[in-house]
Structure 1
Amino acid sequence: MPSIERTDPPYLQIAGYIRNQILSGELKDGDPVPSARNIASEWNVAMATAAKVLTTLRSEGHVKAVPGIGTVVNSKDSHPYAGDRSMSVVKTGRIYPEGHYARILKAELVTAPDRVADALGVEASAPVIRRVRTTYNDQDVPVATSVSWFSGELASRAPLLLETERIPKGTFAYVAEQTGRTLEREHSQLAATAADAAAAEQLGVAEGSPVLVSRDKFVDAGGDVIEYGESTSLPDQWVFVESARAAKGDT
């Protein structure tokens, strides 16, 4: 069906610019964010538009108002949603906010579970690559755990997927580089649920604790799934979900 393409309103474009500065670490936790007056002057927009920029960023949990100081970055309480780290690396070259880091717990070739086989479009008995990681904030507190799945056919073309060392550019960008494919995020699913035993252990919470679970598919330009990811995040960690698809290339 035909669709209408619209440019984002100015306040969303400005909010996106500041958001990327926060996610990339250019603006760190506690750093001041431009005031509505400064935004209006710098971007040549109305004060009402500038004020809406700050309201949007506050509603997402990226900034907060501090009496006597103004609006400052609130990255300690914000965690990038797994699917949107792909966009962060495309736009900023960084996959995590300043101070956040990940530990790769497992990188192995296993038999595909049914749900993973369906997601990747491979046979249920086919070998697949599984990468398990836990993400920590700048206080060394675990905030999320995730599993990335890839077709076993990538084992020879993208061998770093089977090593427990971090891939700084992100698995998405690495696979794109190794295969020459143009990749983009297809869609995401999110649900509030209870932590299973594995997630509870990695996040340091009791089994059954409330968590946010996401599932993401990353596809190439032809629609073939390259990476399927599952992520579990703690409550009280604001998770930002970008609505647009990733641009050509990475994560």
Structure 2
Amino acid sequence: MPQIEEAQPKYLQIAHYIRDQILRGDLRPGDEVPSERQLAADWNVSRPTAARSLQALAHQGLVEKRQGSGTYVRNLEVNRRARELYGRARQTGKIYTPGEYAVITSAGWLDAPDHVAEALNLAKGGQAVHRRRVTNNENGPITLSTSWFPPDVGQRAPRLLDPERIREGTLMYVEKATGRQGSYAEDRMCARLVTEEEATDLELESGSAVLIVHHVVYDLQDRPLEFAEATYPPGRWIFEKGYPIT
């Protein structure tokens, strides 16, 4: 018979909590993370368990231990996935960390491509609202993405049609404008060669490999609220999934 999986080990729960803070940008490169003693007290665990959580973060390349000083966030170049962006937006009201910003290259109504229409449960050839953006940091472009929204969302959330940035992020704005709450999301990933347009926007060489993520957000009634297609440049891909081995 199917069995319910047990909760993750405590050291992994601690490591994942700190990892999420790093990926959201709450802990930035050079910041000190809590010590073993502090983690043991905050989480009510033993010192060895706290130490193991820091070791797990080090193995993931997120932190480094400095002898006689402490453990610090490494100088990382990471692309934040949707869940980290949502988490940051809900906590701070801003979707990007200091130094990151998006340039909206186009916004408005378009005929939805077939894969977008299918994801949003639209009739083939139907229209949807799109927002295309290039996200940058001090080193240049880091992600190219296009969000698509069903017609009823576009009609009730007019800022989606404006090329000005929505600092709290499109999903939080859409939730406020429509009253529809995001409930869960699904991601599908694949890799392919960059298109010429993508190469221009991301400042990549022709023939570079890119990661493509199709991201669908559903509301509390299981209706699609947003479809996003994101293109990530090479060398900045992160796949992570923890699971028990039985």
TM class by shorter chain equals 0.7 to 0.9
Structural mapping, 1:140-155, within 5 Å? 140-155=139-154
Question: Kindly, what percent of the aligned residue pairs are identical?
Answer: 39
Q: What is the Cα deviation at residue 72 of structure 1?
A: 1.8
Question: 2:53 matched to 1:56?
Answer: no
CA RMSD after TM alignment: 2.7
Paired position in structure 1 for 2:72: 72
> What's the TM-score, normalizing by structure 2?
0.85
Distance 2:199 2:80 in 1: 20
**TM (normalized to structure 1)?**
0.84
Structure 2, unpaired ranges of 5+:
none
What is the correspondence of 1:106-145 to structure 2 with a 5 Å cutoff? 106-137=106-137, 139-145=138-144
Q: Distance in 1 between matches of 2:99 and 2:136?
A: 8
- CA apart distance, 1:83: 4.9
Once the two structures are superposed, residues 205-251 of structure 1 have per-residue CA deviations (whole angstroms, 9 ceiling, x without a partner) of 012202211111001111110100111112222547689xxxxxxxx
Give the drift of 1:55.
3.2
Q: Which moved more, 1:224-233 or 1:13-22?
A: 13-22
Residue 86 to residue 5, structure 1, CA distance change in 2 (3 Å)? farther
Change (3 A) 1:5 1:91: farther
Other structure's SS at 2:12 match: helix
Q: Give 1:225's aligned residue.
A: 224
Q: Which has the higher contact order (CA 8 A, sep 6+)?
A: 1
Q: Secondary structure of 2:76's match?
A: helix
The answer as to whether partners of 1:32 and 1:72 remain within 8 angstroms in 2 is yes
Q: Does structure 2 conserve the Cα–Cα contact (< 8 Å) formed by 1:11 and 1:53?
A: yes
- Matches of 2:75 and 2:128 in 1, distance apart? 34
Alignment of 1:162-181 (within 5 A): 162-181=161-180
1:159 aligns with 2:180: no
Secondary structure at the aligned position of 1:214 is classed as strand
Taking structure 1 as reference, are residues 52 and 104 closer, same or farther at Cα in structure 2, changes over 3 Å only? farther
Contact 2:23 2:78 in 1 (8 A): no
Report the alpha carbon displacement of residue 63 of structure 1 after superposing the two structures with TM: 2.6
Q: Which secondary structure state, in structure 2, belongs to the residue aligned with residue 168 of structure 1?
A: coil
For 2:167, the aligned partner's letter is: P
Q: Cα gap change, 1:97/1:110 in structure 2, threshold over 3 Å: closer, same or farther? A: same
Judging changes above 3 Å, is the alpha-carbon distance between structure 1 residues 65 and 147 closer, same or farther for their aligned structure 2 residues? farther
Higher Cα radius of gyration: 2
Counterparts of 1:169-208 in structure 2, within 5 Å, are: 169-208=168-207
Would you say 1:102 and 2:105 are equivalent positions?
A: no
Distance 1:213 1:74, change over 3 A: farther
Measured after TM superposition, the shift of residue 15 of structure 1 is 2.4
Name the SS for the 2:99 alignment partner: coil
